[in-house]
Chains A and B, each alone.
Chain A
C-alpha cells in the first residue's frame, strides 16, 4: 500500500504519469466548460448528454467489434448530440416541458444503452469488451492511446475557450446584444454545445456516463462561491476539476474495485462543500461571521446612543453611571460588560471611576454621528413618508447602523428643502466644555 502511494506520488511509473496527466486535463476541461454550461443554465443538459451517449458506445462497438477508442468516441458523440436534439425536438413540438424532456431522453437512451450492453455481453466477442466500465468509469483500465486522445481533446477544448473567451462571455451574459454586434450567435451556441459533448465523451471512460454530469456542474458551482469574475471563476473551476480528477484516479488506483467516477465526484463535492462553507462573502462561515459582527456593531452603537441621550439630560456631568445603560439599552448586565470592554478596546470610552464611564473624543464623534442619523431618519419618515410618530423609533433603530455619511447628507438636504431645521437635531454639550 505504502509502496503504491509512493509510486503514485513520485509519478515514476510512466503509466501512472499518463493517467494522472490525462485525468487532470479532463478535470480542467470539464471545469471550464461546466462553468459556461452552469451560467447558461444548462447544467443538466450535460447529464442527459452523458446518459444518451451509452447506446452510441454500444453501437460503435457492435459495428466495429473493436475496443478501439475512436469508433466508440464517434458513436458516443453522435448519440449524445442526437440526445440533445431529441430534447429540443420534444420541447419544440409539443407541450412537454424541458425538465420532463430531459428526464425522458436521459432514461430512454440509457435504457437502450443497457439493452445493447447486455446484448453485447452475450456475444462471444463481447465478454471482454469491458464496456461496463463506461457506466461508472475506470481510469486504471485506460490504454495509453485512450489517454492520448483524452489529453488532446481536453487541450483543444481549453484552447478554443481561451481563443473565444470574449465571445462566449457575451453569449452567456447578453445573447441579443452579441447578435446586434454581428456575431453568429447560433454558431457560437452550437460550438459551446459541441465542446460540452467533447468533454462528456472523453470523460466517459474515466468517470462513466452516470456521474459525468457532476464533473461539469460541481466544480463550477463551487467556484461560483469565491468570485464574481468569470475569468477567475473559470480558473478556479479548472483547478477544482483538475484536483478532483487527480484525487479520483489516485484513490481508485489504490482500491481497484472502487470505480473512478464516484470517487472523482465525491472529491468534487468535497471542494464544493468547502467552498460553500468557507468562501469569503458568499460562504456560510463568512455569512455567520458577518451576522455576528453586525450584531456586535449594533450593540455598541446602541450603547453609544444611550450615552448621548444620557448626556442630553444631564448637562452638568460627563461621567455616566453604568447603571444608566441598563434601562436604556435593555441589555443584560453580562452583555453590557462585554460591550463596555469592546468599546474600551476601541478607545471610544474609558472608565472615569469604578462604575462611571466617559466618552473619549473618538467615541463622542461616533456617537454623535449615530444619533444624528437616527434622528434625521425619524424626521425623514415623519415628513416624507407621513408615518405616525409612534412608528418612528423602531425603524430608525435599525436604519441608523447602516446609513452611510453620504446618505445622511442626502437626507439632510431633502429635509432642508422641505423647510425642516436640522441644525439642532442633537442637543448635547460638546465634550470639551
Chain B
C-alpha cells in the first residue's frame, strides 16, 4: 500500500510537471512566464464558484469555471495594458491579486462546507491523491486526479502536435505570422485556454504554487541545455518528472509538504543547470574563459622566451620568472606551459626553459602578426607610432587568424592605404 501510494503521488506529480513543462516552454519563449503565474492564481475564484454552484467536485463545472477565469485574466490584463495604458507587469499584478483575493475570500467564507481551504489552495493535497479513487460499478479504477491530469496531458500533447508550426512562428515572429494570414490572437487565446485547463487539472492536487513552478522552471531549465525546440520540449518533460520524483523523496525525508518539496527539487535542478549546462552554464562559460586565457598566456609565453633568446641567447629562463613576467595569471600560464611542452614547442632541461624549433617558428609568426597589426594601426587607424600601436597590437595579436592576416597583408603592402587614397581623391577635386 505504501509503495503504491508513493507511485500514485509521483505519477500525479509527474503528469502535472509534464503537462505544465510542455506549455511552460512556450510561455518562457514567448516571455509570458508571468501571465502563466497570473493564470495559475486567478483560476481560483472559478473553481470556488464551480464548487458553490455544483456543490460537488465534479470535473466539468470546475473546468468551465476555471477556464472562464483564466481567459478573463488574460483579457483583463490586455485591457489594462492596451486600453488603459497600465504597464504590463503592473497589470498582471493588479489582476491576479484581485482575482486570487476573491477566490481566497470565497473559500474562507465557505470553510467547513467544502473540503478546500486556504492552505490547500496554495500547496494542494497531493498526499491524499491515492485515496481519491474512481469507482465504477464497484470496481476501483485508480485515483481520480490521475485520470484528470492524465487526460489533460494527452490533450496538451495533441495541441502542441497539431499547432506546432503555428506556435513556433507566432512565438518567434508574430508579425510574419500575421502577414502570412495566421490568426495570431486566436492562437494566443487557445494557448491561454490550454494553460487554464492544465492549471485547473493540477490545482487541487498540487496547489497554485507548484503549478507556477512547473509552468516556468522546467521550461527555463531546458532552455539552458539546448538550442533545439523539440529537444527543449522533451527536456522540460524530463526535468519535470525528475523534479517530482526527487521532490517526493525530499518530502518523505523532511516529512514536509510534497508540493513544496517538488518545487524545491525543480529549483535545485535549475541551479545545477545554471552551473553545468554546456553552453550557457557558468562552468561552461568559465571553461571557455579559461581556454581563452590559456591561449593568451601561451602566446605571451612564446614571445617572452623568444625575445629573451633574441637578446641574450645564453640566458636561461626558469619557470618562476615566467609567472612573474606575464600578466595573464598563474593558472593559465601554468596550463599554457604544460600545453606547449606537450605539443613540443617548449622543452625543459635542468629546470630551464627553451624554445624548440617549432616553438621558435610559432613565436616568429606571432611577432609577424604583431608587427603587421602595428603597421596597420599606424597607417589605417592613425595611431601615433609609439606605445599606442604596440599596445593595440598586444591586444589584437591573439585574435588575428589566417584570414585576417591575409587581409592585413593586402592592406599594409598596398602602395597606398585606402585612407590616403581617399585623401588623394579629395585633394584632386
Is there any pair of Cβ atoms, one from A and one from B, under 8 angstroms apart in the complex? yes
Instruction: Decide: A115 and B261 in contact? CB cutoff 8 A.
Output: yes
Interface residue A111 (Cβ < 8 Å from any Cβ of B): yes
Structural contact, B263 and A44, CB atoms closer than 8 A = no
Does A112 belong to the interface (CB within 8 Å)? yes
Q: Assess whether B259 is interfacial by the CB under 8 Å rule.
A: yes
Kindly state the separation between the CA atoms of A43 and B34 in the bound complex, as whole angstroms. 12
Q: How far is the CA of A433 from the CA of B199 in the complex (A)?
A: 79
8 Å CB contact of A265 from B101, B261, B270: B101
Pair B86/A224 contact, Cβ less than 8 Å: yes
Interface SS of chain B:
helix
Chain A residue at smallest Cβ distance from B37: A103
A221 within 8 A of B: yes
B323 within 8 A of A: no
- Contact yes or no, B108 A258, CB < 8 A: yes
Instruction: Indicate if the CB atoms of A102 and B31 lie closer than 8 Å.
Output: no
Alpha-carbon gap, A282 to B219, bound state (A) = 39
Per-residue CB proximity of A16-55 to B under 8 Å, as 1/0? 0000000000000000000000100111101100000000
CB-based nearest B residue for A55: B264
**Which chain A residue lies CB-closest to B90?**
A43
Q: Which residue of B has the minimal Cβ distance to A217?
A: B93
Cα separation A257 to B87 with both chains bound (whole Å): 34
Bound-state CA distance A229–B280 (Å) is 44
Q: Name the contact of B98 in the complex, choosing from A46, A220, A225, A265 (C-beta under 8 A).
A: A265
Interfacial chain B residues near A113, Cβ < 8 Å: 260
Interface range on chain A: under 10, 10 to 19, 20 to 34, or 35 or more? 35 or more
Closest chain B CB from A425 CB (angstroms): 40
- B106 → A minimal CB distance (Å): 9
Contact A100 B256, CB 8 Å, known A107-B216, A108-B267, A221-B94? no
B92 to chain A: closest CB distance in Å?
A: 7
A35-B111 Cα distance, complex, nearest whole Å: 36
- For chain A, residues 247 to 287, give those with C-beta under 8 angstroms from any C-beta of chain B: 255, 257-259, 261-263, 265-266, 269, 272, 276, 282, 284
Residue B242 CB within 8 A of the other chain: no
Are A115 and B260 in touch, CB under 8 angstroms? yes
Which B residues lie within 8 Å of A73 (CB)? none
Q: Which residue of A lies closest to B97 (CB)?
A: A214
Stretch at the interface among B66-74, B115-123, B230-238, B357-365: B115-123
Residues of B within 8 A of A282 (CB): 84
Choose the segment among B169-177, B205-213, B287-295, B299-307 that binds chain A (4+ C-beta atoms closer than 8 Å): B205-213
| Cβ–Cβ contact B105 & A41, under 8 A | no
Q: Contacting chain B: which of A87-95, A155-163, A353-361?
A: A87-95
Asked whether any CB of chain A lies closer than 8 Å to the CB of B43, the reply is no
CA A213 – CA B94 in complex, angstroms? 8
> A100-B28, A211-B97 known; A112 and B260 CB under 8 Å?
yes
CA–CA, A61 and B259, complex, Å = 22
Distance of B377 from chain A, by nearest CB (Å): 32
- Which of these, A99, A218, A257, contacts B34 with CB under 8 Å? A99
CB-defined contacts of B217 to chain A, threshold 8 Å: 103-104, 107-108
Return the CB mask of A193-224 against B: 1 if under 8 Å, else 0. Answer: 00000000000000000110110111011001
How far apart are the CA atoms of A276 and B76 in the complex, in Å? 13
Q: Is the CB of B264 within 8 A of A112?
A: yes
B93 touches A43 (CB 8 A): yes
Q: Contact check: which of B32, B101, B266 meets A108 at CB < 8 Å?
A: B266
From the candidates B97, B102, B254, name the one contacting A119 in the complex (CB within 8 A): B254
Q: Contacts A100-B33, A107-B213, A218-B94 known; A257 to B108 CB distance under 8 Å?
A: yes
In chain B, positions 250-299 with a C-beta closer than 8 Å to chain A are: 250-251, 254-257, 259-264, 266-267, 270, 274, 277, 280-282, 285
| Least Cβ–Cβ distance between B398 and chain A, in angstroms | 25
Which A residues from 110 to 146 make CB contacts under 8 A with B?
110-119, 122, 132, 135-136
The smallest beta-carbon distance between B38 and chain A, in angstroms, is 10
Determine the chain B residues whose CB is within 8 A of the CB of A335 once the complex forms.
none
List 6 A-B residue pairs with CB atoms under 8 Å apart, sorted by A's residue number: A44-B89, A106-B212, A111-B259, A112-B267, A214-B101, A220-B90
Which chain A residues have a beta carbon within 8 Å of chain B's beta carbons? 38, 41-44, 46-47, 90, 93-97, 99-100, 102-104, 106-119, 122, 132, 135-136, 210-211, 213-214, 216-218, 220-221, 224-225, 255, 257-259, 261-263, 265-266, 269, 272, 276, 282, 284
